[in-house]
Structure 1
């Protein structure tokens, strides 16, 4: 793991108290609340406040937004008081830096990866964001960002600067997350559709399975690196 920091497991796109409680019970380090209206995981501010009240102090709350202005982001920060912001749009490094100043919280920037060329963008966000989240590029006709349940070629990350701290996302699920951790050595993993029974419907059992598998793989990686 990077810099000896704790391994992070994020369950994104939660939208009900029941599935949020399942994520908390399973030991999620972060939970994501999706404010992109076109996503099947979209939550209103009212619902987000309800979920945040349950999660606060037990896990880190991440607000996911797409191409918002600094004012919009600052207003959400004041209304919801999340621990992190996740930017999942076309935000430039300069915009990310300005947004981070506006929200006054740590921020992560999601970047879509499909080819080795896409990795070149990572360097530009190194100083602007506290963390980068490497996701699969969405299909060209997709209505919303994200990996849409499909992983990218993890072998591409062999070309990444070894000192670059990142979270891995895109097509992860309980069956493949252990391999993903072993291959890519991320600072953490992020999952949404991979723990769902239908688009936007989280499955508590899959959440528990995913977290257990990811945690076991991360622990094994830490043991082998310290041996």
Structure 2
């Protein structure tokens, strides 16, 4: 689990080289590319292949595609992971590859943490990472949710928190549930698909401030 400043950073919805470079500059470990035609951040495999991201894990976000389509896009775009943001089952994940899947879950659809943990156990042997997002399905909701009840979650997998995160609320989110990583998109954008580099830098500063002063109140950053 994380201890303030060492939380892993994933920036999603990247569409261009300049923003990918900005993500690298703030120490992002992962960058995400959206392969969903209905999204305003949708990209093509060819676009993504042209974006260079040395030493950063590349993640494709998929909703409706078949396993074969996903594997083809991953190969064309040069992706390390498939973030499955639909209701793909265990067999689907295994087909894509157990070390190549980040599976999305929506805690707000569960009645209890125990119910969520039961689902996590079902997917334990077919995923590399978990991601917890706002809402009850889909993604891109651009709003946070009460993730405090995830603190101490029983999971053997590295898990990321998503949902309306940005410089103004990232410290509160990290301290509330102690995620392994955070997933950012709209909260660090100037417009859909275009990152705001000042917001990216402010987010990095907020996390660095937490690392220097772990007992200081989040609102001070």
Q: TM-score, normalised by structure 2?
A: 0.83
Give the whole-Å Cα distance in 1 for the aligned partners of 2:96 and 2:135. 23
Question: Where does structure 2 lack aligned partners over 5 or more consecutive residues?
Answer: 215-221
Pick aligned residue for 2:185 from 165, 186, 192 = 192
Q: Matched residue of 1:127: which SS?
A: coil
Aligned residues: 209
2:159 equivalent in structure 1: 166
Which residue of the partner structure matches residue 108 of structure 2?
114
- Shift in alpha-carbon separation, 1:26–1:159, aligned structure 2, 3 A: closer
- The Cα of 1:129 is off from its aligned counterpart by 0.8
Tell me, yes or no, if structure 1 residue 153 matches structure 2 residue 146. Answer: yes
Structure number with the higher helix fraction is 1
Mapped partners of 2:97, 2:213: distance in 1: 34
CA displacement, residues 145-190 of structure 1 (integer Å, 9 cap, x when unaligned) = 2151111111231473165531111111111111111111111100
Give 1:69 deviation, angstroms. Answer: 1.3
What is the CA-CA distance between 1:10 and the residue it aligns to?
0.4
TM-score by length of 1: 0.81
CA distance in structure 2 between the aligned counterparts of 1:209 and 1:85, rounded to whole angstroms: 28
1:68 equivalent in alignment to 2:61: no
Structure 1 stretches lacking a partner, 5+ long: 140-144, 222-227
Q: Does 1:181 align with 2:174?
A: yes
Q: Does 1:87 align with 2:80?
A: no
Change over 3 Å in CA distance of 1:217–1:106 after alignment to 2: farther
Measure, in 2, the Cα distance between the counterparts of 1:203 and 1:68. 30
Match of 1:133 in 2: 131
